[in-house]
Structure 1
């Protein structure tokens, strides 16, 4: 009988510890999710819009007209971006010009250029990072 009580005690302790651990990790995920989602005001406060940019594409005789919204990691990075508009514009032109018209057609082309710009623009800034880039205007000729 004493052995049975010990086994039941160990099982109950294991269940309590497992339940506590599950609760802890689930709460941690919920808090992390809440922290990463920004309100509309925060997004507006941390993002910049580029001018409309026209540039040649890698494919001969083609050009693109683009505009982007760039979400930055913090206010300091936004201030830096506003001071480095020439560098941001140059990075965008170089990136867009490296693609052919065929590569940019469709949703996959837009996604590809957004991802490439996140990487390239993060290199431009000394402070912070680029969280995401959205294409807000896109025409190919």
Structure 2
């Protein structure tokens, strides 16, 4: 009788240890999956092109500029495609407050990309914008 109880306790402990190990493996696999950089195909599947926009800058110059906006998934991409008019509005308003000097050069373009990312993310409900890329620009 005492032997049966000991075997039962050992069996329960073995099952508990196995369950804890399985949960740990699942958690580790899930965390490492999230840290993995997306492939270029995944980036393209989740990206939206903003065609060339021509608008005035605060310095009375004009700019022609186009973007590719990378989202975090297909649902975010679909939402962003529906919000294209709002995205264009954000771009035009943001550019209208900039001078030609502020949007030229590496630092200025990076700052513009980051500002647009922040503003567009305020609109998003089903995902978020990961990165904004300038795909073409022309300043006079």
Moved over 3 A (4+): 31-36
Does residue 67 in structure 1 map to residue 66 in structure 2? Answer: yes
| Cα distance in 2 between the residues matched to 1:81 and 1:111 | 21
- Structure 2 gaps of 5+ residues are 1-27
Calculate the TM-score normalised by the size of structure 2: 0.74
Q: Offset of 1:101 from its aligned partner?
A: 0.6
Within a 5 Å distance, the mapping from 1:98-137 to structure 2 comes to 98-137=97-136
1:32-67 Cα offsets, whole Å, 9 max, x none, are 48733011110110001101000100112x011000
Aligned residues: 111
SS of 1:101's equivalent? coil
| Cα distance in 2 between the residues matched to 1:37 and 1:129 | 16
Calculate the TM-score normalised by the size of structure 1: 0.73
SS of 1:38's equivalent? coil
| Cα distance in 1 between the residues matched to 2:125 and 2:112 | 22
| Cα distance in 1 between the residues matched to 2:96 and 2:36 | 33
Does residue 54 in structure 1 map to residue 61 in structure 2? Answer: no
Cα 1:33–1:59 shift into 2, 3 Å: farther
- Structure 1 gaps of 5+ residues are 1-27
| Cα distance in 2 between the residues matched to 1:114 and 1:43 | 17
